[in-house]
Every structure is written in structure tokens, then in C-alpha cells.
Amino acid sequence: MDDAPAEPTTRYVVPGIDNLHVRMGSGTSYPVVGVLVPDARVVGIGAGDWLQITQGPLRGACVSSAYLTPDAPPEQPGTPCPRLEGRVTSDDQFANVRSGPSFGHPVVGRCQRHEAVSGSLVGQGPWIRTDRGYVNGGTLTFHTGDPTTINGRISERLLAPIPLHYNASGTFEPGYGPTTIRYLNDAALEALHLLQRSFRRRFGHYATIDLTYRSYAEQEFWFERFGSPRAADPGTSNHGYGLAIDFEERDVPWRFSWGAPANDWLLTHQAGFGFDNPYAATLQHGEDYHFNFVG
């Protein structure tokens, strides 16, 4: 019988050290992308003598298990990770910079595709304070210097499953149905929950979803079916990072079609939840149902 997948465990940085390096991979030869202070909480899965982080902005990065303990400290530190260095994940989108650490603060700038971003974690995250303002850590990658190398190759344990009641009711290839588990970047899912609660108050139901994270193989499937430009080249789609959502699409005019009340609502309120439809400027061309998480 195959061994069951390892379950994430909670650990804490041991007291009595200055800080603990967070690295791109499980070894001291990998670059440092952040530091954790003593008593900081870490959730992850063991990888030899290292722990791969599975929650928060540093998901995918690694810390040495030698400096971790299962014993919780009396109190959590105010700033568990005083320094982070990552890159904007998206290949063709941006990451919003806001004046404060929430979606309620206005957007004051943008970090462009794969741009280097450094700063400190606000509380337990996901917001990161930078010299330019606040960036949502869900828009950044910390465990590789080249985000394209993980597109479509992210382990499900580094993503978050969306509730089944958000799923569209239909069935379609390759193998989707109302009970098929979809996955998102965890910070994007937190934002989606906020959007869904507000959407349901307005319309009486959730904004139903067709597609979220796509593996590289699934990106190949859609590219073979539709080609460019409707389908992104495999390995370049924001779906491959768990940062894109396709709300339910139909072959006839539908609630998420251009000009429909539900689509108008999403376009009006998208920035307030950290999402962006890159085709919104046209209002007639492109994917009316496609929204990227940009923080």
C-alpha cells in the first residue's frame, strides 16, 4: 500500500537565536529569501532535515528543522518575519501596491511582472510592508528566482481547495464536474471568500466558478483545443500559479457575459477584493469571465 501524503505540522522557531534563515530550497546552498524571528510559527511538511512551508506568503520555501520545536511559546511575536525578498509571480499581470495592509486601502502603485519586491510581513500576513506601500504576499513567489519554473507545477499541498459550493453545476472536459476540487493560491482564496460573501448579499447566490489552478498538462489540453490567443501558451497562464479564476461560462449570453448585471458588479467591485479582469477595458472582446488576483 502506498504511503499517505504527509500532513502539514505546526512548528515554532526556537528561542535563543538571532533569527532563522528562510531559503529557496532544502539546503544551505539555496539563497536566503527571508528571516524568521524566535518563536515565529511555521506550518509545513518535512523534507529530510528541512521543513517546506505550506502556509502564508513564504509557502514553498524551506527552513532547517534543527531550529524548530513543536512547543508553542507563551506569546507570538508582533513581527514573525522581519524581512522577505520575492518576485511578482505573474507573467503578464502586476501586483497592486496599496496605502495600507488591506483591500480597503486605495491602490497607489503597481509592481510589474517578475519585479523584485522586498519588505517585512505585517502580523501573520499576507500583507508585506515595502518602501512603496503594501503588497499582498499572495502575488509574490519566494522559493524560486524565476516564477515561470513553477507554472503548472505547484503541488496541491501548496494551494488551497475552494469550497465545492462555489463550483459551477455543469460537467466539461477534462474531467470537471460539480464535485471536482478546484485549487487557488491561499491568499487569493481568502480574497475570493470576501468577494463571494458580498456577491451573495447582492444576488442571492455565489458567483459560480468553472476553472482555477491548471496544471501544465491541463494548460496543454486547452492550448491544443483553442490555440492562441484564447488559450495561453502552456507554462505562461496565470491559472498555472493559482492566481486566476474563470467564473462560469456558457455558449449563450450569461450572468458573467459583458453587460450582464453580475459581470458589471464584478468589474465595479473587483479592485476592492484584489482582482482584475485584464480585458475589462474593451468590454466586448476577450474573456469576460476571467479575473486575476493582483492583491
Query: 276 and 170 in one domain?
Result: yes
Query: 194 and 77 in one domain?
Result: no
Please indicate, yes or no, whether the overall pTM of this predicted structure exceeds 0.85: yes
Query: 192 and 137 in one domain?
Result: no
| pLDDT tens per residue across span 180-218 | 999 999 999 999 999 999 999 999 999 999 999 999 999
Q: Using the 3D structure, point to which of 116, 150, 184 is the last residue of a domain.
A: 150
Q: Using the 3D structure, point to which of 133, 150, 167 is the last residue of a domain.
A: 150
What does the DSSP 8-state code read for residue 203?
Answer: H
| pLDDT tens per residue across span 240-276 | 999 999 999 998 889 999 999 999 999 999 999 999 9
Query: 271 and 160 in one domain?
Result: yes
Query: 87 and 43 in one domain?
Result: yes
Neighbour-count burial for 150-189, b at 16+ CB within 10 Å, e otherwise: bbbebeebbbbebeeebbbeeeeeeebeeeeebbbbbbbb
Cα atoms in the Cβ-side hemisphere of radius 13 Å centred on 185: 34
Q: Is the pLDDT of residue 2 over 80?
A: no
Q: What is the DSSP string of 100-138?
A: SSSTTSPEEEEEPTT-EEEEEE-TTSSEEE-SSSEEEGG
Q: Using the 3D structure, point to which of 123, 150, 177 is the last residue of a domain.
A: 150
Query: 145 and 5 in one domain?
Result: yes
Q: What is the mean pLDDT of the chain?
A: 93
Query: 175 and 88 in one domain?
Result: no
Dist CA 192 CA 82 (whole Å):
27
pLDDT at position 3 = 54
Helix (H, G, I), strand (E, B) or coil at 246: strand
Query: 161 and 52 in one domain?
Result: no
The CATH number given to whatever domain includes residue 184 is 3.30.1380.10
Domain total for the chain? 2
Query: 178 and 196 in one domain?
Result: yes
Query: 175 and 287 in one domain?
Result: yes
pLDDT at position 283 = 67
Query: 285 and 157 in one domain?
Result: yes
Q: Give the residue numbers spanning the domain of 177.
A: 153-293
pLDDT at position 57 = 87
Q: Is the pLDDT of residue 1 over 50?
A: no
Which of the four pLDDT bands, split at 50, 70 and 90, describes residue 82? confident
